[in-house]
Amino acid sequence: MSSAAWIMLTGSLVGISCGIVGCYLILRKMAMLADAISHTVLLGIVLAFLFTGSLSNVFMVIGAGVIGVFTAFLVQLLHSKGIQSDAAIGVVFTSMFAFGVVLVSLFAKQVHLDVEHVLYGEIAYVPWNTLTIAGMELGPQAVWVLSIILVINIILILFFYKEFKISSFDPQMAAAIGVPVVFIHYLLMGMTSLTAVSAFESVGAILVVAMLIVPGAAAYLLTDKLHIMLILSAIIGVLSAIAGYQIAYIFNVSIAGAMASAAGLIFFIVFIASPKHGLIAKRLATRNVSKEL
């Protein structure tokens, strides 16, 4: 495959993984928590490096996963003690991200852990960081990691589909019929953390946040059925990656930034032209009601 194809495949895998997890965050009105987790995992990455002295993906994923779940726990704890949800997210997100930045400045200046790398990623270099086993080159390492995380996410969603669905739409009813709401909540937070950190090295936090929120938000405007929303969010994630790469190639700009911008452009098109929930459809519906009156 060409370098361009590997980059678009990497972006597409991020779009699909983040898109399907992001649907549940949108339905639970927890989109900003995704933003918080995608930044606080920096602290998990740094702590994993400081404890192990290794930049192995395994340690990075474990560290980020633990900190991601801890972020969700802290936000929930503050909210339960009377702090507004958005304020709790803001306090936890900024404090933990800043602590991660301080630790990088103090103890990890000489390693490949810098804030700019975390925010913007290095997707252009993905084709050259390959996985080699027994002398056989198997393609970019990021593609393998993202593929494994995507498979894990799909398996968990299929296995707990009913529990995710009921607890997302009506958590009180879910608890009443015996669904383990707390377990499902932290399972989703764990999936969000693992998805975010798996995409960090290659695409950065900005694109991770965009892919976690925008495809799901756009799909939400296109359908009222959850399974179709999941499929549409994956398709929008792939379209964003491919269109973003083409924009970056034409204008010679940041690839991850162009992919995030493409996702935003697709959202605004859907926001205006969605057949049922779009701006035009709502204006026409309002005009028809006015005529009938």
The beta-carbon contacts of 214-217 under 8 Å, at least 24 apart in sequence, are: 214/22, 214/240, 214/260, 214/263, 214/264, 214/266, 214/267, 215/15, 215/18, 215/19, 215/22, 215/240, 215/263, 216/19, 216/22, 216/23, 216/24, 216/25, 216/26, 216/31, 217/22, 217/26, 217/31, 217/267
CA dihedral sign of residues 246, 247, 249, 255? negative
State which H helix or E strand residue 178 sits in. none
Candidates 199, 170, 159, 192; CA nearest to 11 is 199
Name the strand (E) or helix (H) holding 84. none
User: What tens-digit pLDDT sequence spans the chain (293 residues)?
Assistant: 788 888 899 989 999 999 999 999 888 888 777 777 777 877 888 888 888 777 666 777 778 778 877 887 888 788 778 788 778 888 888 888 888 888 877 776 666 555 555 556 677 777 777 777 777 777 788 888 889 989 999 999 999 999 998 988 888 888 888 888 888 888 888 888 788 877 776 677 778 888 888 999 999 999 989 999 999 999 999 999 999 999 998 988 888 888 989 999 999 999 998 887 888 888 888 877 777 76
Measure the CA–CA gap between 149 and 271, rounded to whole angstroms: 30
Give the pairing of strands 130-133 and 136-140: antiparallel
HSE at residue 63, side-chain half, CA atoms within 13 A, is 22
Half-sphere exposure of 222 (CA within 13 A, CB side): 22
Which CATH number is associated with domain 3-290?
1.10.3470.10
Q: Which among 261, 264, 248 has a CA at the least distance from the CA of 3?
A: 248
